[in-house]
Structures are given as structure tokens and as C-alpha cells.
Amino acid sequence: MQHFDPLAPPIPQYFADVEVDVGKPEVLGSGPCGLRRVVPILGGNARGEGWTARVLPGGSDFQLFLSETTSELDARYGLETDAGDRIYVQNRAVRSAPVEVMAKLMRGEAVDPSQIYFRCSPSFETTSPTLKWICERMFVGAGVRHPAQVVMRFFLLA
């Protein structure tokens, strides 16, 4: 009988690549916590092993710029798989970069992705019997921000 160590380090396993098409940010202004923006989610697609989905329009990415170098992101949107299953996604992220790189990002300019730290923690909700397991697991990911799209790779923590 094989022994399972419950305190062993989690092992990331590939789950999906997600491309989210985004619109022009709405700047809500600065408050006591920092600058807030809301970025509309227009569509996109997701691909995992043996499945594909489309990103449903109507979601948003709520952004809080804590400083000139760091932002916290909270994206919420829906997916619809090729089988017709719907999935609610909430993806929290931290994005940081040198001041000049972050300023370019805020202006919507293309930047070298290697200069940006972009890590995320997506969670999922679905009523699909075949996908129920994704509601019961933790995921992490990495991302790249392009002027009109966010590209991410998600990993299951096994």
C-alpha cells in the first residue's frame, strides 16, 4: 500500500489555457486604497485537455492599483464549454512591474511580458456533474497582459 503524505508540497498539473478579450478600462478614481479601474470582458476562449470553452461577454476585471508598481486584480466571468456546461470563474491576481513598465500597461501599450510578475488564483463554480470536481480543488496560474487580451495558463494543485 502506497503512503500519501498530506503535507507534501502541491504539484502543479496543467489544467487550461485561457485567452480573455478585454475592452477599454473605466477609471473609477483614486480612493484610500489606491486607483480603481474596471475592465470589461468581451469574450475569448479556453482550452484544456479534451475540452474547449468560450468566454462569455459581460464579465469584468476589477483592478486596484496599490502603488506605481503593484496592482491587485479580481476578474469575474463565465465560460460555456463545447458541451454546453457553464462555469463561473473568479480569478484573483497580483501584477507587479517596474514603474515605467506599469505606466505603459496603464496606458494600454504593449510591454515585454518577462518584465511583469503576473500570478493568479482562479476558482470555479458549476452545476455540471462532470465538472463538479473543479469546485473542490485549488488552482494557480500565470498570465500575460496584451493591449486587448489577457492570456493565462491555469494549473491544478495536486
pLDDT at res. 2: 72
Task: Dig out the grid coordinates for 152 from the structure.
Answer: 493565462
Place of cell 462555469: 87
Looking at domain 12-157, its CATH architecture is Beta Barrel (2.40)
Domain boundaries, the chain: 12-157
Q: Give the separation between CA 35 and CA 130, rounded to whole angstroms.
A: 40
Backbone φ/ψ region at 77: left (φ over 0), alpha (ψ -120 to 50), beta: beta
* Cβ atoms within 10 Å of 138's Cβ, excluding its own: 12
Can you read off the three cell numbers belonging to residue 13? Answer: 498539473
Average confidence (pLDDT) per 10 residues, the chain, 158 residues: 85 98 97 97 96 97 98 98 98 98 93 97 97 97 96 97
The confidence score (pLDDT) of residue 133 equals 97
Question: CA–CA distance from 83 to each of 6, 51, 86 (Å)?
Answer: 34, 8, 9
Element containing residue 149 per DSSP (H, E): strand 149-157
